[in-house]
Amino acid sequence: MTDDLEEIRKRRLAQMQQQSSQQQMDPYEMQAAMEQQEKAQAEQEAQKQAIMRQILTPEARERLANLRMSRKELAEQLESQLIMLAQNGRIQNVIDDEKLKQLLVQMQPKKREPTIKRM
């Protein structure tokens, strides 16, 4: 978890430095920097998808894709947790659709049932 936080801090610092240097760049340099950033994001996304293919069954990946369409933040949070667990070696078996459902239920906040009291 601290590695993830450190990585986020490094990315944010790099973004801030890039933004400050972009103000001093000419348009050609700025376009090249944007292309490089897009390429890095695409590479990072490809790595993430490769890890997901290794740890999820096709049905579980399909469920995650459906979840991404409706609740993008939850899907990203689940992906980051799964990747962190896989990198730490805490996932021994491939996660199937039923196990993914269980993980989603655990991630959902507990909802209180409304109680109506009549006087």
Token pair for 4:
């993830």
Q: Which residues contact 83 (CB under 8 A, 6 or more apart)?
A: 48, 51, 52
pLDDT of residue 32: 82
* pLDDT digits 0-9 by tens, 77-112: 999 999 999 889 898 889 999 999 999 998 887 778
* pLDDT digits 0-9 by tens, 35-89: 888 998 899 889 989 999 999 999 999 999 999 999 999 999 999 999 999 889 8
* d(C-alpha 67, C-alpha 74), whole Å: 8
**Does residue 60 belong to any structural domain of this protein?**
yes
Question: 57-95: buried (b, 16+ CB within 10 Å) or exposed (e) per residue?
Answer: beebbebbeebeeeeeeebeebbeebbeebeeeebeeeb
**Does residue 37 belong to any structural domain of this protein?**
no
pTM summary value: 0.64
**Does residue 87 belong to any structural domain of this protein?**
yes
**Does residue 102 belong to any structural domain of this protein?**
no
* d(C-alpha 15, C-alpha 48), whole Å: 20
Token pair for 2:
């601290």
Q: What is the residue range of 72's domain? A: 56-92
Number of domains in the chain: 1
**Does residue 38 belong to any structural domain of this protein?**
no
